[in-house]
Amino acid sequence: MKTRIKGAKIVLEDRVVEGDIVIEGEKILAINPTETVICENELDVTGCIVFPGFIDPHTHMSLQQSEQFRAADDFYSGTVAAALGGTTTIIDHIAFSPMGSPLMRSIENYHTLAKGAVIDYGFHGVVQYVDDAIVDELKHIVKSEGVSSFKAYSTYGFPSGDREFLLLLSALKEVDGVLTVHCENDGITKYYNEIFRKNKQLTMRNYPKSRPNLAEAETVGRLIGWADHLGDVPVYIVHTSARESLQRVAQARVRGQKNIYVETCTQYLLLDESRYAGDAVLASEYLMAPPLRSKADQSALWQALLDGSIQTVGTDHCPFMRAEKHLGKDDYSKAPGGVAGVQERPVLMYEEAVVKRGMSLVDFASVMSTNAAKIFKCYPQKGVIKVGADADLVVLNPSVATQVNSQMLASNCDYSPYQGFQSSASIEKVFSRGRQIVNAGEFLGVAGVGKFIRR
Ligand SMILES: [Zn+2]
């Protein structure tokens, strides 16, 4: 069956054109065809903008964060939320598995967890510790299992340090993989947490001080130093939040390092640390690591996003229920970290980046889709409107407004950190591999049709 999407502004990789897109089966058959193509299905979307399906390179569906806490969204609810918001691909993070397990065990576990997904998905592997067997297995997985990026954490239960960074970067270099890193210096965060604990000051107000800008920037600097040392090995910095981190990346790029990729997240662009200063119960709903930062950090992030220094905007979607977050009101160590955002990101970013700050539609598509597809090796199947690409398309209506409220959100979570935020745009229709899965706020898709993307 062929479908024609008519009368749209179409955001191609390098320009915007007006006209029609023809879908056949799962693929884009033509853009403004010169010859007549008869289509069984015609959809007039005059006045709307068609983007390549948005990609969220940073989600945590079905995450068992600790023995006590499990993220509110599984792969079904989380991907329905993603779809309604215009995201047609997520790259989700595999969770840590018991110490000593082979890497494949947790990947296999995630293949089972992801069976309910309604959109396509990939996985970032995760590394807890590194020895010869892990290095060999990691190289095998990158080559044969369709998981070409691995994440290491410099903090939490299994902090990676210089030795691990070096081993992982050199292993991934051999097989053309990408290391993604949560950068927060474990010693610095431990130091502050110990002081606050000793003084019984683990308050929400102190929370951002327990994970200062320098904790992130120090690790970013060290990591990109090792990547450079090994011959400009690709490295991807997740959820960048501090202006000092951006400075270190900028300096390295001036020195000639080319393969540093920087992600930030919606929350660091739209929210700031003042959320921790008021009522402690409300403040606990914004518990996340790294914490929300100052207005100065926020404006540095915006500048870096607008000038191309930041490549991707993800969400780190990892929501927990209000009651669970509120456990942290008097002691932040008692509540789980993470917030929602997978559904909210596209319309809110459109408002803030395109409407308020004048970002071009092409640049918007790059940071919301194309760059992630390229960095994580699913381009041009994903991330671009091009003949032969997957027909993952988002029809955004720039003149029907959205207000974030709990009724419109499909997440299992009972609140949004963006409650009350407005956008002048809304998501009108969404296509995933040619199948329409969203129409004007209604989800039309089916559980389990999302496919694992080997990349
Ligand atoms: Zn994360």
List the chain domain ranges: 2-51+393-407+422-443, 55-375
Could you please state the CATH topology (level 3) that the domain comprising 2-51+393-407+422-443 is classified under.
Urease, subunit C; domain 1 (2.30.40)
d(CA 237, CA 42): 42
Burial of 424 (0-12, 13-18, 19+ CB in 10 A): middle
CA of 23 to the centre of ligand 1 (A): 34
Q: What is the per-residue pLDDT for 96? A: 84
CA of 316 to the centre of ligand 1 (A): 5
Pull the structure tokens for residue 85. 């918001």
DSSP class per residue in 332-369 = GGGS---B--TTTHHHHHIIIIIITT---HHHHHIIII
CA of 70 to the centre of ligand 1 (A): 14
CA of 7 to the centre of ligand 1 (A): 38
Q: What is the per-residue pLDDT for 158? A: 79
To 10 degrees, what angle do helices 213-229 and 186-198 make?
160
CA atoms within 13 A on the CB side of 422: 5
CA of 121 to the centre of ligand 1 (A): 16
Number of Cβ within a 10 Å radius of residue 47: 13
CATH architecture of 55-375: Alpha-Beta Barrel (3.20)
CA of 254 to the centre of ligand 1 (A): 28
CA of 351 to the centre of ligand 1 (A): 24
Counting as low any pLDDT under 50, the low residues of the chain are: none
Beta strands 178-182; 27-31: pairing state: unpaired
CA of 317 to the centre of ligand 1 (A): 7
**Helices (H) and strands (E) in the chain — how many of each?**
15, 19
**Closest among 237, 225, 255 to 304, alpha carbons compared:** 237
Strand ranges inside 222-307, DSSP E = 235-237, 260-265
CA of 206 to the centre of ligand 1 (A): 22
Task: Report whether 190 contacts 129 (CB < 8 A).
Answer: no
Q: What is the per-residue pLDDT for 157? A: 74
Q: Is 111 helix (H, G, I), strand (E, B) or coil?
A: helix
Measure Cα distances from 167 to 77, 97, 129, 325 in Å. Answer: 37, 20, 10, 36
CA of 386 to the centre of ligand 1 (A): 30
**Closest among 284, 274, 271, 400 to 347, alpha carbons compared:** 400
Per residue, the 3-state secondary structure of 395-439, as one string, reads: EEECCCCEECCHHHCCCCCCCCCCCCCEECCEEEEEEECCEEEEE
Measure Cα distances from 328 to 76, 121, 156, 202, 371 in Å. Answer: 28, 32, 17, 9, 36
CA of 39 to the centre of ligand 1 (A): 42
- Dihedral sign for Cα 137, 142, 143, 145, please: positive
CA of 310 to the centre of ligand 1 (A): 17
CA of 181 to the centre of ligand 1 (A): 10
Q: What is the per-residue pLDDT for 160? A: 87
Q: What is the per-residue pLDDT for 98? A: 76
Q: Hunting for tokens 């942290």 — which residue is that?
A: 328
ipTM score of complex: 0.98
CA of 60 to the centre of ligand 1 (A): 7
Q: What is the per-residue pLDDT for 377? A: 98
Pull the structure tokens for residue 231. 């011959």
CA of 209 to the centre of ligand 1 (A): 20
CA of 428 to the centre of ligand 1 (A): 29
CA of 59 to the centre of ligand 1 (A): 6
To 10 degrees, what angle do helices 295-306 and 243-254 make?
40
Burial of 254 (0-12, 13-18, 19+ CB in 10 A): exposed
CA of 58 to the centre of ligand 1 (A): 6
Q: What is the per-residue pLDDT for 99? A: 78
